[in-house]
């Protein structure tokens, strides 16, 4: 009896995250993401290494399997691409294209920390936060939205280049996710980690790693994904509600990928690749 109660209670206790109001259709998310991804891939150098790519895709596909059924949308295709720059950043476009900077993989101490950032990004996509946030802003035609949404999700110099690169060039009218959406992505991310066998507390570890790296401020990731307040504490609390005792932290595959990256020539900064 006791064992049964312990096995059932986490499902009852986890926080339920709902979709927000959204003026756009899931098909429009897909279209926006596709247009923005084409622009991103023109502007940023991708890491073309089969082993690193296969590893990242494997972790990504595994995490996508943890998205609750009710948050699956027709046409969404999650893809995972390594950008060969050393800044600590990651971003996901509506409909699923997800980009992880090489610097983020290098900064992660464990596979669980890397999975924490990826689960957070996947959660923004599944919750359709890019278009939900756009729905709260001035309405623009879909074409105009593509650049602006992508620019805002990516942030900083690359974000403004991408938003100018689309035909409307409106720039960004929102610069970061709301605290409410950050909280939701943190919580759903923790749930996805737990469902796929990771320890969600690793996500809290990654955010702490990012905060440390942000010492003097200016880290793109944290300006696009602001701390909604007590971020680590809330993630650890969700892990407790989920009844997580342990889970995957580090793996041999992750250590191999880190060693492989360390053997490559150092990646440039985003500023270097977006000059002139």
Q: Which stretches of the chain bind Zn ion, using CB under 5 A? A: 177, 182, 185, 225
Task: Find the residue with minimal CB distance to Zn ion.
Answer: 225
Q: How far apart are CA 232 and CA 230, in angstroms?
A: 6
Nearer to Zn ion, 158 or 185 (CB): 185
Nearer to Zn ion, 146 or 185 (CB): 185
Nearer to Zn ion, 31 or 182 (CB): 182
Q: How far apart are CA 23 and CA 138, in angstroms?
A: 11
> What does residue 46 show for φ and ψ, rounded to 5 degrees?
-90, 145
CB of 275 to Zn ion, least distance (A): 28
CB of 79 to Zn ion, least distance (A): 19
**Is the Cβ–Cβ distance between 86 and 267 less than 8 Å?**
yes
CB of 215 to Zn ion, least distance (A): 20
Residue 63 Cα distances to 107, 131, 192, 197, angstroms:
20, 22, 6, 9
Residues in contact with 171: Cβ distance below 8 Å, sequence separation at least 6, in sequence order: 148, 151, 160, 163, 164
Nearer to Zn ion, 25 or 176 (CB): 176
CB of 121 to Zn ion, least distance (A): 7
Strands (E), 67-223: 79-83, 90-92, 97-101
Nearer to Zn ion, 152 or 194 (CB): 152
CB of 221 to Zn ion, least distance (A): 8
């Amino acid at each position: 009896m006791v064992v049964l109660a312990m096995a059932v209670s986490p499902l009852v206790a986890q926080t339920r995250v709902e979709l927000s109001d959204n003026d756009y259709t899931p098909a429009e998310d897909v279209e926006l993401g596709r247009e923005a991804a084409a622009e991103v891939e023109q502007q940023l150098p991708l890491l073309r290494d089969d082993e690193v790519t296969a590893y990242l895709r494997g972790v990504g596909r595994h995490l996508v399997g943890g998205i609750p059924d009710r948050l699956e949308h027709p046409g969404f295709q999650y893809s995972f691409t390594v950008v060969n720059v050393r800044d600590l950043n990651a971003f996901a476009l509506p409909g699923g294209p997800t980009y992880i900077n090489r610097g983020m993989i290098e900064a992660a101490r464990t596979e669980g920390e890397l999975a924490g950032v990826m689960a957070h990004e996947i959660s923004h996509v599944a919750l359709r936060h890019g278009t939900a946030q756009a729905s709260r802003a001035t309405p623009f035609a879909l074409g105009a939205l593509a650049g602006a949404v992508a620019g805002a999700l990516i942030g900083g110099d690359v974000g403004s280049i991408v938003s100018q690169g689309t035909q409307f060039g409106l720039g960004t009218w929102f610069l970061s996710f709301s605290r409410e959406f950050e909280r939701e992505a943190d919580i759903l991310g923790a749930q996805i980690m737990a469902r796929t066998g990771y320890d969600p507390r690793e996500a809290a570890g990654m955010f702490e790693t990012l905060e440390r790296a942000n010492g003097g401020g200016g880290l793109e990731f944290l300006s696009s994904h602001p701390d909604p307040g007590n971020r680590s504490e809330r993630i650890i609390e969700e892990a407790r509600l989920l009844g997580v005792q342990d889970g995957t932290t580090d793996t041999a595959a992750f250590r191999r990928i880190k060693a492989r990256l360390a053997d490559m020539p150092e990646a440039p900064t985003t500023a270097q690749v977006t000059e002139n």
